[in-house]
Amino acid sequence: MARLFIGLMSGTSVDAIDAVLMDFSASDRLIAHFSQPIDPELKSEINRVIAARAWPQDTATLDQRLVEASVQAIHRVLEEASIRADQIEAVGSHGQTVFHDPEGAPPVSIQLGNAREIARTAGIPTVGNFRQADIDAGGQGAPLACAYHARLFRSRNEDRAVLNLGGIANLTFLPSDPSLDVTGFDTGPANTLSDAWIQHCQGPDFDHDGEWAKSGTVNRNLLDQMLEDPYIERSPPKSAGRETFNLTWLRTRLARHGTPLAHEDVQATLVELTARSVALGMQAHPGSSAPARVLLCGGGSNNAYLVSRLEHAMAGLPVERTDAHGVPSKWLEAMTFAWLAKQALDGEPANLPSVTGARRAVVLGEVHRAK
């Protein structure tokens, strides 16, 4: 019998709610997908909440608008697949992170887009708040994708790494030796700073294929200063968000640099920061030698210039997209949340303490009934 789940993911880039419909009855099968763009005005409201680090009075309205966008994404992916809502066991919805501070007092990770309301409105049981149980067990609550990366890509024949290039970059190490733990962490910014910089200087949401960055020259002094950031130098477990890496972070470093730089040189330096911080993170792998290959996913894997700089920084390690292994790089994160919903319904733990630093493996997510 089919086991149908929907996964919804909206990451730190606040670009879209990516929706997938999965069947987990045999091998994991992607049946349909849909990307629900986040309306520019809603996006700027969300960005305002993230930057404010406070709860403006209209947060409840934003939460409701994200519920509506999520339900629309659910309807669209059901239509794509010609499947009815009552055939779906559950939706796994990540929600839109507006604050992530797993080391704060109290430790928190807050997502908007209330899963209980999604369940009621869509009429499908919905699992949300995936990060809290891991945080309660002393973990970072992130990254959560590593367990699913292991399920799809771990090989007995070669050590592998998976690199997700969203707003933030996260690395998963998949040792071929089954006695070694899977490890992983956020290495630092992937696209979040270069997105913010091009938005600030020119207006577009992102630097298409890294063309603007490519036209600039890396400034070594600024790059070295950025690489000295305590987050990048710290050892795992660690997870990052836009609380740390944002336009204010960048402006502080530009001010320290002193001499004004051409805008495209800043962009080139930001791409180099991503490449170099990933390469530094790559040295923290658990095996005795570097992984045999690196599998890429997330929007940044479309950025040809970023990928070429990554290849350079990782000294020629073979880099390929997850598509080469039969998994669309665009949908992998949403697929993760469909799988996490299944794990929650099955009462199966889904965090990896070797990744998040939690004291134990726990069941993730809160399940909300449809009615």
Ligand X SMILES: Nc1ncnc2c1ncn2[C@@H]1O[C@H](COP(=O)(O)OP(=O)(O)O)[C@@H](O)[C@H]1O
Residues forming contacts to Mg ion in the complex (CB under 5 A) are 11, 13, 15
Q: Minimum CB separation from ligand X for residue 151, in Å? A: 19
The residue (of 47 and 215) whose beta carbon lies closer to Mg ion is 47
Partner interacting with residue 134 (select from Mg ion, ligand X, none; CB below 5-8 Å by kind): none
Residue number with CB closer to ligand X (43 or 116): 43
DSSP-based three-state secondary structure for 69: helix
CA angle at residue 204 from 198 to 206, to 5 degrees?
65
For the bound state, the minimum distance from the C-beta of residue 206 to Mg ion, rounded and expressed in Å, comes to 11
Q: How far is the CB of 15 from Mg ion (least distance, A)?
A: 4
291 binds, among ligand X, Mg ion, none (CB under 5 to 8 A by kind): none
**Which partner from the list ligand X, Mg ion, none does 186 bind, CB cut-off 5 to 8 Å by kind?**
none
Residues that bind ligand X (CB under 6 A): 11-13, 15, 166-167, 191, 195, 206-210, 298-300, 302-303, 333
Nearer to ligand X (CB atom), residue 78 or residue 270: 270
Contact partner, 303, from Mg ion, ligand X, none, Cβ < 5-8 Å per class = ligand X
Long-range contacts of 19-27 (CB under 8 A, 24+ apart): 19/73, 19/74, 19/76, 19/77, 19/334, 20/77, 20/331, 20/334, 20/335, 20/338, 21/77, 21/78, 21/80, 21/81, 21/83, 21/88, 21/338, 22/335, 22/338, 22/339, 24/338, 24/339, 24/342, 25/1
Residue 320 φ/ψ region, left for φ over 0, alpha for ψ in the -120 to 50 degree band, beta for the rest: beta
> CB of 87: closest distance to ligand X in angstroms?
27
Least distance from C-beta 18 to ligand X, angstroms? Answer: 7
